[in-house]
Homo-oligomer: A and B are copies of this chain.
Amino acid sequence: MDFIKKPMEIENRSMEIIAPYLKDLNLTNEEVKVYSRMIHAAGDVEYAPIIKIHPQAIAAAKAAIKGGCNIYTDVEMVRTGINKRTLAKFGGEVFCKIADDEVKKLAENEGITRSMAAMRTFGNSLNGAIVAIGNAPTALFEVLRLVNEKNIKPAVIVGIPVGFVGAADSKKALAEQAEIPYITVEGTKGGSPIAVAAINAIMYDLLGNDIRD
């Protein structure tokens, strides 16, 4: 069996394959890097036209990361995928509360999902932070409620929940609010690896290279 075994070679070849699908989208060089990793993570070039990046999102994420911001995730898979060693170089940490007893109780008492309860429990910690949602539409709706009703201001919301119940609507609501820069994907597609890819792409770009650590 003959196949490419070297990580950087795999990555570079993949980016070359994706490039033609981006050429008509008028992207900045920074955006190309983020789009490419998101498309690579899904193995799906049909993401190209449905990825939506707010014009300030990458700059805001870079500034927040450089300032040592934390990242708050809806599910453990997103926490796992984000390169925590790279984030730690800037002083930040990644938090997920979905398995906390406090969150479990709140979810049961309120009849809501755990990831929604987790976002509510983060509360003011989300100010100036990056929110990364890769699974639960309910978590994204809750963050938008915190922004609207509680005046909480994350630096950036990477909101890429997935599925057929609420995901498309929650992402539409994210793209229609004017307050917080965002990265999202229109429609039902999405998922943890896509949210992870966007954040890792921005961190690697900040380091001036594409090396995974």
Kindly list chain B residues whose C-beta atoms are within 8 Å of the C-beta of A43.
162-164, 167, 187-191
- 8 Å CB interface, A22-46 against B: 40-44
Contact code string A181-213 (vs B, CB < 8 Å = 1, else 0): 000000111111100100000000000000000
B5–A165 contact, CB under 8 A?
no
B41–A162 contact, CB under 8 A?
yes
Q: How large is the interface on A (under 10, 10 to 19, 20 to 34, 35 or more residues)?
A: 35 or more
Contact code string A137-168 (vs B, CB < 8 Å = 1, else 0): 11001001100000000000000001111110
Contact code string A1-25 (vs B, CB < 8 Å = 1, else 0): 1011111001001100110000000
Q: Which residues of chain A have a CB within 8 Å of any CB of chain B?
A: 1, 3-7, 10, 13-14, 17-18, 40-44, 76-77, 79-81, 110-114, 116, 135, 137-138, 141, 144-145, 162-167, 169-170, 173, 187-193, 196
Residue in B closest to A7 when the chains form the complex, CB atoms = B113
A190 to B112: give the CA distance in the assembly, Å.
Answer: 29
B1–A145 contact, CB under 8 A?
yes
A164–B13 contact, CB under 8 A?
yes
B141–A1 contact, CB under 8 A?
yes
A95 to B175: give the CA distance in the assembly, Å.
Answer: 39
A44 to B44: give the CA distance in the assembly, Å.
Answer: 11
Given known A-B contacts A76-B80, A163-B43, A138 and B3 have beta carbons under 8 A apart: yes
A17–B164 contact, CB under 8 A?
yes
State how many angstroms separate the Cβ of A202 from the closest Cβ of chain B: 18
A192–B42 contact, CB under 8 A?
no
The 5 closest A-B pairs by CB, nearest first: A43-B188, A43-B162, A80-B80, A17-B164, A5-B112
A sample of 18 inter-chain contacts (CB < 8 A) reads A1-B145, A3-B137, A3-B170, A4-B165, A6-B112, A10-B166, A14-B165, A17-B164, A18-B164, A43-B189, A44-B44, A44-B189, A76-B81, A77-B193, A77-B196, A79-B80, A191-B191, A192-B193
